[in-house]
Amino acid sequence: MVNKSIIILAAGAGTRMKSKLPKVLHKISGKPMLYYSIKEALELSDDVTVVLFHQAQKVQQQMEKFFDGINYVIQDHENYPGTGGAVMGITPKYEKVLVLNGDMPLIQADELKKFDLDATIVMSVLELQNADGYGRVIIENGNVKKIVEQKDASQSELAVTTANAGIYQFDTKFLLESLPKLSNNNAQKEYYITDLVEMAINQGKVLKPLIVNEENFKGVNSKLDLSEAEVIHQNRIKREFLKQGVIMRLPDTIYIEEGVIIEGESIIENGVSLLGNSKIVNSHIKTNTVIEDAILIDSDAGPMARVRPGSEIIGTHLGNFVETKKAKLNGVKAGHLTYLGDCEIDEGTNIGCGTITCNYDGINKHKTIIGKNVFVGSDTQFVAPVNIEDDVLIGAGSTVTGDVKKGELYLTRSKAKKIDGYFYKHFGNKK
């Protein structure tokens, strides 16, 4: 771990997102944007500070679901607005401090390690074909000599295609000495972190540019940016699984969230969504199936199945339009059109089409337990709580309201009745 402190700026409202949700809590691949900045920062440092202001409590609560040991500070936005004001009042633990943005979810620790250069300020820069809209960075003899906003640039400076990427590493001593000297004498009346760069240049300090990958440093300021960043992140996730030997049919149609695990000889077909902390091992997930916070081992699911949170599916076949929730299935066949919720079903059991575990009484959820080698006929309802022992046969169309002992046949069908000529009595003779 590198001996540097990290400050992550996450105070902004993000008005261009056009949302009541704080910008840094908008999700990419199932996790808030800020999650990724913190995750990568923790690869480098044990001194990570997140600066908050807009809906600070909400942002902090969300991040505390994922991380421990993070320092949270509230920016004095009323008196010290702006990026420079955001880092005021923080005392970094180490001699170097890296300042990141919470709206750069594609940042990667391996690239952040490259900031470890001998300079008062290391400044990230992009080498662009067209730098229109960016602040320009003027470099001479390998050092930063000037930064200039586009509106203030001369014609020769506008021709420069080296742009400011917005991430900085500071010598901590310089940062702490310089922050009190910042001024808000500008149109926005804000304190800018970029003024520290100009201050260091005027003092003759060494400022090194670090050329970085434009994709990794992509900022998210709108819903369009968010969607573009998610496509990039999804491609990264799927590329890693493909390298590990997972087969994917039409990968561009598959959605896999951060936290999903896929192992062994697994096949993921087109249109599949793998959500939350799902784990797929040696399994075949067929077209348009959704797996959420569930485990599948040596199983297949779909097409168009839904495996909901808390399900553990082992050695099992789930066919089309089968839904499970908190279901522990071991060696089971459920071919189609079935709901299995809050249940445990053991090996050798066959679940007929249209079977339902009636697990909810309007107030509480109840459990259905089905043993080994049970044959469940089509259109069966298990009114939980019920316990079905091994080697049981449930007749089609049954409503099971009590326990069934080993070896029994359970039937609730009423005796068939035929009434001759009733059609004509009901509808009349249509001839």
Which residues participate in the annotated binding site for Mg(2+)?
103, 221
What stretch of H or E contains 195?
A: helix 194-202
**Distance separating the N- and C-terminal Cα atoms of the chain:** 89
Question: Known binding site: residues?
Answer: 9-12, 23, 82-83, 103, 135, 149, 164, 221, 308, 325, 339, 350, 359-360, 378, 396, 413
Per the annotation, binding residues for UDP-N-acetyl-alpha-D-glucosamine are 9-12, 23, 82-83, 135, 149, 164, 221, 308, 325, 339, 350
* Beta bridge partner(s), residue 291: 274, 307
d(CA 81, CA 90): 15
Residue 147: which region, alpha, beta or left (left: phi > 0; alpha: psi -120 to 50)? Answer: beta
Q: Amino acid identity of 133?
A: G
Say which residues have a Cβ less than 8 Å from residue 192's Cβ, sequence separation at least 6: 82, 83, 84, 182, 186
- The C-alpha torsion from 104 through 106 and 111 to 112, rounded to 10°, is 30
Write out the binding residues for acetyl-CoA.
359-360, 378, 396, 413
336 is catalytic: yes
Question: How far is it, in rounded angstroms, from Cα 327 to Cα 334?
Answer: 12
**Cα–Cα distance between 197 and 194 in angstroms, integer?**
5
Q: Which of 54, 77, 336, 366 does the annotation list as catalytic?
A: 336
The candidate with the shortest Cα–Cα distance to 282, out of 321, 246, 241, is 246
Using DSSP's 3-state secondary structure scheme, residue 166 falls into strand
- Please give the positions annotated as active site: 336
